[in-house]
Amino acid sequence: MSAFFSEARKCLPRAAGIAALVWATASLAQEMATPAPESVSTVAEIVVTGSRIPRPDQTGVSPLTQVVGADIRAQGAMRIEDVLNQLPQVYVDQNSTVTNGATGTATVNLRDLGPERTLVLIDGKRLMPGDPTSGSVAPDLNFIPDALVERIDVVTGGQSAIYGSDAIAGVVNFIMKRNFSGLQMDAQAGIYDHDNGQTGIQAVLAAQGLAEAPKTVTDGFTREITVVAGINAPNGKGNLTVYGGYRAAAAITEASRDFSACGLVAYGANLFCQGSTSSPALGRFEVFDQTNNFNQVGDLTLDPTGPGNTLRPFDPERDGYNFAPTEYFQRPDKRYTAGAFAHYEILPSVDLYVDGMFMYDDTTAELAPSGLFLQPFTIACSNPMLSAAEVQSFCTDANVPPGGDTLLQIGRRDVEAGGRQFLLTHTDYRVVAGARGNVGVWNYDISAQVSAVDLSQTALRDVSLSHVADALNVVRGPSGALVCASGNPGCAPYDIFAIGGVTPAALAYIETPGIATGGTDEAVVSANVNGELGRYGVKSPWATSGVGVALGAEYRREGLSYSPNVELASGDLSSFGAATPPVKGHFDVYEIYGEARAPLAQDRSPLLDDLTIDGSVRYSWYSSIGGAATYKAGLEWAPTPDLRLRASYSRAVRAPNVVELFTPQTLGIGLGHDPCAGANPIGGPDPDPFATEANCARTGVTAAQYGHIAPSDGGYNSLEGGNPDLRPEVATTETL
Query: Is residue 87 within 8 Å of residue 97, measured between CB atoms?
Result: no
Q: How far apart are CA 125 and CA 140, in angstroms?
A: 15
Q: What is the pLDDT of residue 44?
A: 54
Per-position b or e across 191-202, b if 16+ CB within 10 A of its CB: ebebebebeebb
Q: What are the percentages of helix, strand and coil residues in the chain, rounded to 5?
A: 15, 45, 40
3-state secondary structure 407-457: EEEEEEECCCCCCEEEEEEEEEEEEEEEEEEEECCEEEEEEEEEEEEEEEE
Q: pLDDT tens-digit profile of 140-173?
A: 999 999 889 999 999 998 899 999 999 999 999 9
Examine the pLDDT at 20 and tell me if it is beyond 50: no
Mean pLDDT of the chain: 88
SS3 state of residue 642:
coil
Q: How far apart are CA 181 and CA 38, in angstroms?
A: 10
Cis ω before 606 (30° cut-off from 0): yes
Residue 386, CA atoms < 13 Å, CB-side half-sphere: 22
Q: Return the bridge partners of 284, or none.
A: 411
Q: Which residues contact 602 (CB under 8 A, 6 or more apart)?
A: 542, 543, 544, 545, 608, 609, 610, 611, 612
**What's the count of helices (H) and strands (E) in the chain, helices before strands?**
12, 36
In this prediction, residues 565-578 reach a mean pLDDT of 88
Q: What is the pLDDT of residue 141?
A: 96
Which stretches within 39-85 are classed as H helix? 69-75, 80-84
How deeply is 686 buried, as exposed, middle or buried, from its count of CB atoms within 10 A (0-12, 13-18, 19+)?
middle
Query: Is residue 395 within 8 Å of residue 290, measured between CB atoms?
Result: no
Q: pLDDT tens-digit profile of 666-713?
A: 776 666 678 898 888 887 766 788 899 999 999 889 999 999 887 775
In this prediction, residues 623-644 reach a mean pLDDT of 92
SS3 state of residue 281:
coil
Share of the chain above pLDDT 90, in %: 66
The torsion angles phi and psi of 662, rounded to 5 degrees, stand at -115, -5
In this prediction, residues 33-57 reach a mean pLDDT of 60
Q: What is the pLDDT of residue 58?
A: 62
- Comparing CA positions, the residue from 578, 529, 569 lying closest to residue 551 is 529
Q: What is the pLDDT of residue 21?
A: 34
Residue 107, CA atoms < 13 Å, CB-side half-sphere: 27
Q: How far apart are CA 549 and CA 614, in angstroms?
A: 10
Examine the pLDDT at 495 and tell me if it is beyond 80: yes
Query: Is residue 516 within 8 Å of residue 457, measured between CB atoms?
Result: yes
Q: How far apart are CA 140 and CA 118, in angstroms?
A: 12
Q: How far apart are CA 394 and CA 287, in angstroms?
A: 6
Q: pLDDT tens-digit profile of 606-629?
A: 889 999 999 999 999 999 999 999
Per-position b or e across 514-535, b if 16+ CB within 10 A of its CB: bbbbbbbbbbbebbbbbbbbbe
In this prediction, residues 459-468 reach a mean pLDDT of 95
The two beta strands, 270-273 and 264-267, are antiparallel
Strand residue runs (E) in 263-332: 264-267, 270-273, 275-276, 284-288, 296-302, 311-313, 321-322, 328-330
- Comparing CA positions, the residue from 694, 695, 675, 673 lying closest to residue 683 is 675
Query: Is residue 361 within 8 Å of residue 314, measured between CB atoms?
Result: no
Residue 408, CA atoms < 13 Å, CB-side half-sphere: 27
- Comparing CA positions, the residue from 457, 202, 213 lying closest to residue 329 is 213
- DSSP for 697-719, please give it: HTTT--TTTTT-BPPPSS-EEEE
Strand residue runs (E) in 623-659: 626-640, 643-654
Q: What is the pLDDT of residue 513?
A: 95
- DSSP for 123-167, please give it: TTEEPPP--TTSTT----GGGS-GGGEEEEEEEES--HHHH-TT-
